[in-house]
Amino acid sequence: MALTVSVFGQNKTREVLTLEKNWRFHKGDVENAYAPDFNDSKWESVTVPHDWAIKGPFNMDIDKQTVAIVQNGEEVATEKTGRTGALPYIGVGWYRNQFSIPNFSAEKKVILLFEGAMSEPEVFLNGKKIGSWNYGYSYFYFDITDHILADQQNSLAVKLTNRERSSRWYPGAGLYRNVRVIVKNKASIDQWGTFITTPFISSELAKVNVKTKVSGEHLILVTQIKDADGKIVATDTTKTLYDNEFEQNIAVSNPKLWSPETPYLYTSISQLYMGNHLKDEISTRFGIRKIKYEAEKGFSLNDSVIKFKGVCLHHDLGPIGTAVNTAALRRQLTILKDMGANAIRSSHNMPSFEQLELCDEMGFLFLAESFDEWAKPKVENGYHLYFETDAEKDIVNLVQATRNHPSIVMWSSGNEVPDQWGSDGAKRAKWLQDIFHREDPTRPVTVGMDQVEATMASGFGAVLDIPGLNYRVHLYEEAYKAFPQGLILGSETASTVSSRGIYKFPVVEAKMKQYNDLQSSSYDLEACSWSNIPDEDFVLQDDKPWVIGEFVWTGFDYLGEPTPYDDMWPSRSSYFGINDLAGLPKDRYYLYRSRWNTKDETLHILPHWNWEGREGEVTPVFVYTSYESAELFVNGKSMGVQKKNMSSPTNRYRLMWMDVIYEPGTIKVVAFDSEGRPVAEKETHTAGKPYQLVLEADRTQLNADGKDLAFVTVSVVDKNGILCPTATNQLNFNVTGAGTYRAAANGDATSLEMFHLPTMKLFSGKLVVLVQSAEDVGKIELTVSGKGLKTAKTYITTIN
């Protein structure tokens, strides 16, 4: 079935068609699959965004890499079986679709936009190759005007090629972001041709500078600025063109400033006229905000010094893979907002438009990253193959496509690139930084540096606007003195590893610790050979004003890179996350929350209290809390009061009772305010046998658009309603009504159960089920059952 663009109604100057439906997909190369008359009827029917590999199955032989990971300090090559997620992303995939453009004429222009295609896309229209791109994370577009068949079906085919040994994590596969057809007049505003900045801001007035690149002659640009309520607050008209660009300086009175606390957004409406005829119209959301980076003082937003309380995020969304989904992204950001995070770093690639739009709306500062490789390789078929020819155009597209987002406050041109050694690397760093500056003079550029001593010697670090240190906490002072900028960014911090709900004894700090069950301890004292526990970064953030913030590795677990088990099967996803792959908080979440969320109380006890067989053994109890002191009770008996102190990093940020002897029953913590008065308490109980299931949906209403998601947390409790923290029951899921079952995840990095099948084991007593809306208004019923457990149901409605 062909898709039709309804072009140019009475008041319409452009149409944007998102090619979501009616795609046909085939894994494997096919001769002549680009031909308009090719028969694809036996191909799989899919919607885009689409990740062809996420359904698995997991296989240790997929992209098996024998390598020494230099970034991890490895000197001897070993076999890595889960480094890229052990999912079948390698190979060729073909996508085909059709669309038609009625009333197409010589006055029109057609743009074909890809927001991400993994990888090396080759694009064919009506049997002719119209272009290709290399970088799977890049946004790119082609002018397809000369290839359009008017009033006929146009055949679109896309060939994607994912090479083995091309990534260090699961990159996904397919048209994983949106594909759009844009139909407009030839006299029009250029693609990504609008650039809005706010060079002057006071409480009474903001100057909004709007640069607009256009195509055509004898044009007039009218720009309206609307506030968040849609009220016009300023207007400007200009006829003056400089090198095909209009420039306007528009005064906005009593501006409302954008910040993480008040993410206020304005909208600029650009109307392009030729005489009295409206030729084009676009709207651009933006924020009025002021950023500044100063030596010794740090980063300020709207003249207030703040620190980045940030996390790094890979682009996969756990059980749905890399296929972009707004509901899944919003859930991630909601969880991080509650934790107190105010910043996101896209790692190590260009962010999706949807993620940036949400960060604008919800109030997150954003560090937008571009590359994981430059000219020197990390993996055999990585970006270094294209760096010399493609880096500039990839940066240009990144900046031009996203520079109007107020959330973006910094660019990153690279992460842990091997080019950090020698003068050639320093020259590349400056070359890339100059491109960013040319395209956007308003934001600084950083690089995540792990070879800090090398960058001090080569001049690499001195070149950067902002020196970014990945780990290397022991070198912060030396780097601060060596680099001329007068500030340091923790561009990647911690890399603490843990498994939700899993605790190991004895409780001691350890590096690269491995256990027979391939899990890591959630006492949050285990890190990697190159990294550290969170507390060591907290000290630097709190005590050094020239440390401007941190981006923790990572906010959520992601597919691939299962350190410290990357050479042990069946580990296939990371342990770094503050939240697990299902989006469920680990204990570490509350450690960060106790420090970052300054508005809400945090009081969290670990571990759980189900330790059959450990009776009489030492079982330490930790408390993560926003309060300074607390008293612990075991079955009513006081274990004493602990108070945060400066004796060590861990004592400064955690309350720890190291000599508690386990006995079944109840542990209770009572927190005290600064005057020593009890103000909050929490209990953990020993649970009985699993009895029934409890369902909790993050949302009870979904949009009836066929893609909205509800995330339903499934827990198993005993007869008294106490969570059973060690339960691993096999559960089954059934969805009926106005929705479908999409996926499930339990957060277990060693699980080989496939996400898309309606059954999965609990991990540490919990898992998450994803329910997807249909396009019908109605009610969705989710039923979850398990052998020997009381079945549970929940209901979700879909609305227009």
Total residue count of the chain as it appears in this document: 800
788, burial (CB in 10 Å: exposed 0-12, middle 13-18, buried 19+): exposed
The architecture in CATH of the region 3-53+89-185 reads: Sandwich (2.60)
pLDDT of 8 higher than 70:
no
Specify whether the CB–CB gap between 20 and 48 falls below 8 A. yes
598-609 residue pLDDT tens: 999 999 999 999
- Cα separation, 430 vs 425, whole angstroms: 9
Mean predicted lDDT score pLDDT of the chain: 96
- Cα separation, 136 vs 173, whole angstroms: 9
54-110 residue pLDDT tens: 999 999 999 998 887 777 777 788 888 999 999 999 999 999 999 999 889 999 999
187-235 residue pLDDT tens: 999 999 999 999 999 999 999 999 999 999 999 999 999 999 999 999 9
**Among 745, 694, 760, 759, CA closest to 723:** 694
The per-residue pLDDT for 1 is 39
Do 3-53+89-185 and 305-495+530-559 have matching folds? Answer: no
How far, in Å, are 314, 329, 396, 532, 566 from residue 344 at the CA level?
Answer: 10, 12, 21, 20, 26
Residues 6+ apart with CB under 8 A from 461: 449, 452, 455, 467, 479, 482, 483
What residues are annotated to the active site?
Answer: 416, 492
Q: Which residue has the tokens 């680009």?
A: 34
In angstroms, how far is the first alpha carbon of the chain from the final one? 25
* Domains of the chain, residue spans: 3-53+89-185, 188-286, 305-495+530-559, 692-799
Secondary structure (H, E, C), 708-765: CEEEEEEEEECCCCCECCCCCCEEEEEEEECEEEEEEECCCCCCCCCCCCCEEECECC
Q: How many CB atoms lie within 10 A of CB 650?
A: 19
Contacts by 480-487 with C-beta closer than 8 Å and gap 24+?
A: 480/544, 480/546, 482/456, 483/456, 485/295, 486/294, 486/295, 486/296, 486/546, 487/293, 487/294, 487/295, 487/296, 487/298, 487/299, 487/546, 487/547, 487/548
pLDDT of 521 higher than 80:
yes
Query: What residues does 786 pair with on adjacent strands?
Result: 731
Tell me the percentage of the chain whose pLDDT exceeds 70.
99
Quickly name the fold that domain 692-799 has. Answer: Immunoglobulin-like (2.60.40)
CATH assignment, 305-495+530-559: 3.20.20.80
Q: Would you say the pTM of this structure is higher than 0.95?
A: yes
Residue 28 confidence class, pLDDT cut points 50, 70, 90: very high
Rounded average pLDDT over 378-390: 97
633-651 residue pLDDT tens: 999 999 999 999 999 999 9
693-743 residue pLDDT tens: 999 999 999 999 999 999 999 999 999 999 999 999 999 999 999 999 999
- Cα separation, 631 vs 671, whole angstroms: 7
Rounded average pLDDT over 289-303: 97
Residue type at 117 in one-letter notation = A
Quickly name the fold that domain 188-286 has. Answer: Immunoglobulin-like (2.60.40)
Q: Which residue has the tokens 């155009």?
A: 393
